Structure 1
Amino acid sequence: MLPLAAGLTGIAFTLRFYGVALPTTLAFAGWLTAGVVLPGLLLWRTLLGRSGWLVADVVAGAAVGYVAEVLTYVAARAAGVPLLVLAWPAGMIGASLLVPRLRKAWRGSGERAPALWSWSMLAVVGLFCLRSVRMFRSHGLGWPVSGPLDADTPFHLALIAEAKQHMPMQAPWVSGEPLVYHWFVYPEMAATSWVTGIDPLALLVRLTPLPMFAGTLLLVAVLARRIAGRWWTGPAAAVVTMLVLAPDPYGWPHPDGWFGFGPYEDGSVYRLIAWTSPTQTFGALLFAAAVLLLLGILDGAEDVEQGGSAKGRWALFVLLLAGLAGAKAPYLPLLTGALVLVVAVQLAARRGLHRPALLAAVVTGVLTVASTVLLYGGGANQSLVVEPLATMSGFATVAGTWTGYTGPGTPAAHAWVAAGITVLCWLFIWGGGLALGRRVLDAPVLLLAAIGAEGMAGVLLFGHPGGSQSYLIVSARPYLALAAVAGLAAVVGTMTWARGGLLALAAVAGTTVVLLLRTVDGTRPAGDRLGWELGRPYVVLAALAVVVVAAALIRRDGRILAVAIAMCAGFGLPTAYDQTAAVVTDTARGGWRAVPLSEQVAPDGRTSAIDRDTWNAGRWLRRHAAPGDLLATNAHCFGVTPAGGMCDNRRFALAAASGHRVLVEGWGFTNSTYERAAADGVLPWFAAFWDPARLAGNDAAFTDPGPATIGVLRDRYQVRWLVADTTAGPVGDLGAHAQERFRAGQLTVYEVT
């Protein structure tokens, strides 16, 4: 309990430092415990028919609790009584107390994690919290809400507000547009906001992702123990998942952008992706719990021997798949393909038809198709397309900025070199999986390898206008780490202090080699010979790895192979150090509490994705407008559009700040916009609005206000409030036809009477 207490105290102190009052943290923790974790834990144990390792029951139970909370809230919000979400924990806890058959769920197995395991995982989670400081500094609980280039935070905030007030949900920045998106995380935050009274912004940028990401790391550690049978593999897998990144012998800068991808694709979850994509973070937790269940299904005989319930396990599996269907789109197709691969490989290896894997593939496939039709509108407009090396082409396009390369070469050649470096980096990071040998044919291990292989293949073969193909490798990364650590455990055997020290020394040696290459060969730009100049340090690293592996094969000594695996992992540790050092140095320079506005100014002069006037006007509307009131605005573009320039349609600022639907604000990230972009052959965020008549009618009320133009908005669309922004264009005499209610700098709020 001491590691848990230390961790919770540290998190509470950190949150307090970044503006979250202790009562708010306690309220959040109270609902998380009583409304999510405890009832989920009870349902997990009830359906499994037994209790297991306490940490596994708690974290997997939390995943089940989240799904039950979301499904209950969606029904309660649709019925107009959002606080009926309390029926889920009250019913589960009450039934477990009153029904004799269910009371056994309160009793644990008594199996607890080793102390060293607990302290190790506390250190890993603590490092993630330290890494989150960059998010806390750049995203406030008031204005400025986020950095000037961050269109995603207003997007998420607007959807939380939509989930608080409406069900079914729409795209609130374009009234009436169906929401074709993985949206389940937003009802989760909306439910928490209703129960606790916590502002959605605090949930989004401070509270909600913390337990989800920490829970994912803990489940990765549990899965490692489940596969390898040794406690030390848990912390090792968590470390590989988060800290073993692509080797960086040139010391290229790693922009901490909103995807978190570098010049080569390592699928890192160590950057801001854990915060800027709450859908990914939520889906990762549910997926890890589903994989844990699936391992038991694939080892059905072992489950029966331990007194487990096969039917209960299947029920939990289907429940988690239902949650995954709306949590993050890539996970169900990824799992379906992996299960099909398990069945096919087992047949090819003459191990017979694996019926549980086949049944799981059928169930997952059916839910994949159902979610594609019901939640994603068929998926045709926003789905991935076959476009080999699209990700690498994107890296090659900015090679001059990230790598210093300015020499000749065709875009195709650039992409192939980037792809070669990428695949080599993957071997350095996850080469331990190659040491599994024939054990990779065992269904549980094969499942992990298949998930990882699909993630790697997906990022090489598919493309997407928004770069979303890279989420495939991010989603698969924990399972590649598990396969790598399982391979290391297979050749190491029992971990002793001597063997652990030897592996640590090997990792240090790998780190030293990369740092030496930076000093000797990596301090200058890549030069004018693309292949040799960019790839030379990687050739050196590969040659060193080949020599060590060859020595292991010649001497048939698994310990030497383990040294090679640890050394290759060490190649990527300087990258993780660079990431952590950047947080510390930036913070030391700019102050721990917030990034100065002077460091956040965009080229067009913006200091936040939501400008100050829109934020103040939106906050006023949130207090004074009824939840169902519809707004209209003349501001439609993200940022300041230059004369003659294209409008970036990713403007969600007013919908986010006010928590209300807007007739037409921006129109980005909608299905209709993707359709228009495909038809016009432009990037989705530069596509024109698909209903020009509505847009013209909207804007006419601002440029030529009168009974006729304002009457169209009032009578046809039921607009109640007009938000005029003089920076977005000329505004007529609205005050003569609507009642001025609030002024914030360049914005004026009018009520339509």
Structure 2
Amino acid sequence: RGEVLRRASGWAAGVVPVVFAVVLLVAYDTPRRAVVAYLLAFLVSVLLPGTLVHRWLRGRQRLLVADLALGAATGLALQLLGWFLFTALGLASWMWVWTVLLVAPFAAVPALRRHAAIGRYPQRLPVGAAWATAALTSGLLWRTAQSWFVSSPLPPKSLMWYPDDYWHLAAAAELQRSVLPRVPQVADLTFTYHWFSNAHMGVMSTLTGIDLPVVIARLWLVPLVLVLAGLAVAVMVKLTGSAWPSLVVIAFLLTSGSLNGITWLGLDGVAAFVAHSPSQTYSLIPMLLVVHVATDVLRGRPVRRGWILFFLVLMFTAGSKSSVLPVLLCGAALAGVVALLRRDGWRRCLALGGALLAAMLVMAPLVTGSSAGAGVQAFAIVRRFPVWKEVTGLTNYEIGVNTGLVIPRLDAPGAATLLALILVAYAVQYAWLLSGLSVLSFRRDGDLTAWFLLGTGIAGWWAMMLLDVDGVSQAYFMRGAVVAWHVLAAWGVHRIWTTAAAGHRRRRLAVWAVAGLGLGWLVLKLQNSLSQDDVPAGARSPRAAVVHGELLTDLAVVVVPLLVGLGLWWVLHRRGSRAALPLIVAMTAAFVLAPVVRPLTEVPKPGGYAPEPSRTVSSAEVKAARWVAAHTPTRDVVATNLHCVRFLTRPSCDARSFWVSGLTQRAVLVEGWGYTEAAHEANGKNNLGSRQQPFADPATFALNEAAFTAPTRAGLDELYARGVRWLYADRRASKVSPALATLAELRLRLGTADVYQLRAP
């Protein structure tokens, strides 16, 4: 009877996050049928074929959640392969056949049927770990709702989405019809970017028939959060043989686990789970799958057919986020250096690095647009910190534009000291990584995977520090790589606990751990209470001295207990005292677990949605755009007079209006160009940022604007020759000439929006 109850409890723990996800989606106005249809489609088109293929290539996993998570990750890669084939052939609406083609062999071929067998797994998640995983996964789902759903009402309501969300909506629509997409907001340009997350959104909309805005604003992220939590379990079971360390990884994803409570400093590169960045969230899935396979490679275990999967997943990774493979390659390089030093395992590192490099080269043409506007400047990211401007007097131009190889104003009074303190703050922020040192070894029996994880994080941090990318996108190198450090830290926690438990009673160790957790809690609470909300400004004292004093005080609150603890442990360890191991358990709880546990106990602030009238798309404008989506051929091009975030077209505006291409799901001749390669490369020209630059093709822009303000038959005919069939005119953006109604057919008028159809010449 007890065994039955344990099994039932385990299954219930697995169901809870799914039920919670459904409740959240329905609570945020997602149609119930859409929720059910989407989850079923994910189950059938992603999870089922992916699990079967993963079992065939790498064998059945010993744990159900690991088997399903690795299968889902594999299914996402296979889905993209099917998308490429069917969309290239013009058969995108037949994508369901791809699922049949993948699954049928496992029913028809006797040798493959065993991979479809349903049976018990040798391992089970302990009940406590299962429920803790369910709770943390539900927390991730809640965070998703608060950071995304709250600010993204569904059409036809009036909208003020984050601008990038419209951009991703347009990209997903474009990828529903083309494998060589054009930039949806500037139809004459080729779209070279890591857009695999957008392709996934488009495929799921095609398979289910669910409106694409509903997929993007609600549905697509939910299954991926569940898969991400499952992958954390799979990776930690692979590395440690135990599932409970995955709780540390999931908690890091949920809370970031920063030891830096200096609220006004704003250090970047600590959070892996970033709202409104589909590519960042999506890329974490192939990254963890790569770590799982790479562990077998580096441990010298037979991979065989798994190499097929590995290379497919590496290409999947490159197209998901272009910043991931380079840091993984550096991780393989560090593992290779260690292998050479110990004269063992270098061939394995070479094989891993060679596969990573080959995938990067193959996928480079696809993602070259991701590097537009990139340069080199030491500590460029620091110049964006408000405190750097406060101390050095940096101008807005120097903040936004790369002016040299070294961060500007480093020679200002107090600047060098400030930079040193910021670097110390970064070290404190990642102090939880110290637990990972316990699994690093130069011995031949040491695990090279630990060095691979360490090198990945190091590469991510240095890329963030040395590169300068418009929009501070260099931070994404570390936002992805930090997950490798999360895994390494969790692995270290497991090693420290198991080593200590081998020589001490677990209850006694638990007391030490609770004491350490309490101490860490108090340290973080004290640091947070001492920190101000804003950058400290110098009233009577020189501002550099004020900032230095504030930083030193806040950092000392964490650094002093850490150094005292390490010093005491060193003395006890040298003397062979049995108290050394319990002390290190307490320190691990204080500096690894406290940063992730403390935020879990705080009541989160409810997300807010306060739309600004000057940036809000009215319900009438939304309905007009959705009319275009419903009543026009998908490959038609639209022209619009909307280009600026705040609607009114004027010189040097923020040219990130993407909602026309997004809500119409049609390519636009010229809409917002703030994210084009030309805009990024022009960053700083005429003292303007990339988003304020004029359109790179003045003749096309003039032709486009004239169609609305001073239309002529010849001008409209030229637009028609360039593929434009529809005009979306909005009187909030610019004057719309009454003459336009005599030269084109007015098909719809709603509020300030008019939709015209061009006549053939």
TM-score when normalising by structure 1: 0.88
Q: Who is 1:614 aligned against?
A: 621
Q: Does 1:630 align with 2:637?
A: yes
C-alpha deviation, 1:513, in angstroms: 2.3
1:4-28: CA deviation from partner (whole Å, max 9, x where unpaired): 2222222111111111222211111
Q: Who is 2:293 aligned against?
A: 293
1:502–1:207 distance in 2 versus 1, CA, 3 Å:
farther
Q: Does 1:75 align with 2:85?
A: yes
Q: Does 1:247 align with 2:259?
A: yes
CA distance, structure 2, for counterparts of residue 626 and residue 522 of structure 1: 55
Q: Who is 2:366 aligned against?
A: 375
Q: Who is 2:525 aligned against?
A: 515
Q: Does 1:32 align with 2:38?
A: no
Match of 1:351 among 343, 346, 354: 343
1:146–1:543 distance in 2 versus 1, CA, 3 Å:
farther
C-alpha deviation, 1:472, in angstroms: 1.3
Task: Letter of the 2:355 partner, please give it.
Answer: V
- SS for the counterpart of 1:695 is helix
Q: Who is 1:697 aligned against?
A: 703
Q: Who is 1:388 aligned against?
A: 378
Q: Retained in 2: the 8 A contact 1:3–1:118?
A: yes
- SS for the counterpart of 1:62 is helix
C-alpha deviation, 1:277, in angstroms: 1.0
1:498–1:6 distance in 2 versus 1, CA, 3 Å:
farther
Alignment of 1:423-438 (within 5 A): 423-427=427-431, 429-438=432-441
Q: Which moved more, 1:674-683 or 1:610-619?
A: 674-683
C-alpha deviation, 1:707, in angstroms: 1.3
C-alpha deviation, 1:281, in angstroms: 1.2
Which ranges in structure 2 are unaligned for 5 or more consecutive residues? 1-10, 392-411, 539-545, 574-579
Q: Does 1:728 align with 2:733?
A: yes
1:508–1:527 distance in 2 versus 1, CA, 3 Å:
farther
Q: Does 1:159 align with 2:152?
A: no
Q: Which moved more, 1:457-466 or 1:235-244?
A: 235-244
C-alpha deviation, 1:460, in angstroms: 2.0
Which ranges in structure 1 are unaligned for 5 or more consecutive residues? 254-261, 305-309, 402-407, 588-594
Q: Does 1:320 align with 2:313?
A: yes
C-alpha deviation, 1:195, in angstroms: 1.3
CA distance, structure 1, for counterparts of residue 27 and residue 572 of structure 2: 55
Q: Who is 1:600 aligned against?
A: 611
Q: Retained in 2: the 8 A contact 1:458–1:469?
A: yes
Task: Letter of the 1:618 partner, please give it.
Answer: A
Alignment of 1:397-436 (within 5 A): 414-427=418-431, 429-436=432-439
Q: Who is 1:454 aligned against?
A: 459
Task: Letter of the 1:649 partner, please give it.
Answer: A
C-alpha deviation, 1:430, in angstroms: 2.1
Q: Who is 2:541 aligned against?
A: none
Q: Who is 1:548 aligned against?
A: 565
Q: Retained in 2: the 8 A contact 1:511–1:570?
A: no
C-alpha deviation, 1:343, in angstroms: 0.7
Q: Who is 2:191 aligned against?
A: 179
C-alpha deviation, 1:75, in angstroms: 1.7
- SS for the counterpart of 1:165 is coil
- SS for the counterpart of 1:727 is coil
Q: Who is 1:663 aligned against?
A: 669
Q: Retained in 2: the 8 A contact 1:511–1:573?
A: no
C-alpha deviation, 1:607, in angstroms: 4.9
Alignment of 1:3-402 (within 5 A): 3-107=13-117, 109-134=121-146, 135-144=148-157, 147=160, 150-250=162-262, 252=263, 263-270=266-273, 273=274, 275-300=275-300, 303-304=301-302, 310-348=303-341, 350-372=342-364, 374-377=365-368, 381-382=372-373, 384-396=374-386
CA distance, structure 2, for counterparts of residue 743 and residue 138 of structure 1: 27
C-alpha deviation, 1:675, in angstroms: 3.4
Q: Retained in 2: the 8 A contact 1:393–1:415?
A: no
CA distance, structure 1, for counterparts of residue 172 and residue 507 of structure 2: 49
C-alpha deviation, 1:399, in angstroms: 7.1
1:548–1:380 distance in 2 versus 1, CA, 3 Å:
closer
- SS for the counterpart of 1:438 is coil
1:500-529: CA deviation from partner (whole Å, max 9, x where unpaired): 453233122211122234446768974532
Q: Who is 1:258 aligned against?
A: none
CA distance, structure 1, for counterparts of residue 537 and residue 690 of structure 2: 35
Alignment of 1:433-582 (within 5 A): 433-438=436-441, 442-493=447-498, 496-519=506-529, 526=536, 528=538, 529-556=546-573, 557-569=580-592, 572-573=595-596, 576=599, 581-582=603-604
1:251-298: CA deviation from partner (whole Å, max 9, x where unpaired): x37xxxxxxxx701252135xx1x411111111101111110111122
CA distance, structure 2, for counterparts of residue 745 and residue 412 of structure 1: 56
C-alpha deviation, 1:159, in angstroms: 0.8
- SS for the counterpart of 1:175 is strand
Q: Which moved more, 1:80-89 or 1:524-533?
A: 524-533
Q: Which moved more, 1:698-707 or 1:390-399?
A: 390-399
1:485–1:38 distance in 2 versus 1, CA, 3 Å:
same
1:647-685: CA deviation from partner (whole Å, max 9, x where unpaired): 222121100110111111111222233334477674321
Q: Retained in 2: the 8 A contact 1:549–1:560?
A: no
Q: Retained in 1: the 8 A contact 2:83–2:95?
A: yes
- SS for the counterpart of 2:736 is coil
Task: Letter of the 2:583 partner, please give it.
Answer: I
- SS for the counterpart of 2:525 is helix
1:398–1:160 distance in 2 versus 1, CA, 3 Å:
farther
Q: Retained in 1: the 8 A contact 2:193–2:369?
A: no
1:336-367: CA deviation from partner (whole Å, max 9, x where unpaired): 1111221112212x233521220121121021
Task: Letter of the 1:280 partner, please give it.
Answer: Q
C-alpha deviation, 1:38, in angstroms: 0.9
Alignment of 1:730-749 (within 5 A): 730-733=735-738, 734-749=740-755
CA distance, structure 1, for counterparts of residue 747 and residue 735 of structure 2: 20
1:517–1:445 distance in 2 versus 1, CA, 3 Å:
closer
C-alpha deviation, 1:395, in angstroms: 1.5
Q: Retained in 2: the 8 A contact 1:651–1:666?
A: yes
1:244–1:617 distance in 2 versus 1, CA, 3 Å:
closer
Q: Retained in 2: the 8 A contact 1:527–1:533?
A: no
C-alpha deviation, 1:65, in angstroms: 0.6
CA distance, structure 1, for counterparts of residue 371 and residue 136 of structure 2: 40
Q: Who is 1:405 aligned against?
A: none
CA distance, structure 1, for counterparts of residue 536 and residue 680 of structure 2: 38
C-alpha deviation, 1:228, in angstroms: 2.4
1:608-660: CA deviation from partner (whole Å, max 9, x where unpaired): 3x4544322211111221212211111222224596x5122212110011011
Report sequence identity in percent.
Answer: 24
Q: Retained in 2: the 8 A contact 1:52–1:111?
A: yes
CA distance, structure 1, for counterparts of residue 528 and residue 318 of structure 2: 44
CA distance, structure 2, for counterparts of residue 35 and residue 685 of structure 1: 39
Task: Letter of the 2:564 partner, please give it.
Answer: V
Task: Letter of the 1:344 partner, please give it.
Answer: V
CA distance, structure 1, for counterparts of residue 507 and residue 106 of structure 2: 44
- CA-based RMSD: 2.6
CA distance, structure 1, for counterparts of residue 256 and residue 729 of structure 2: 50
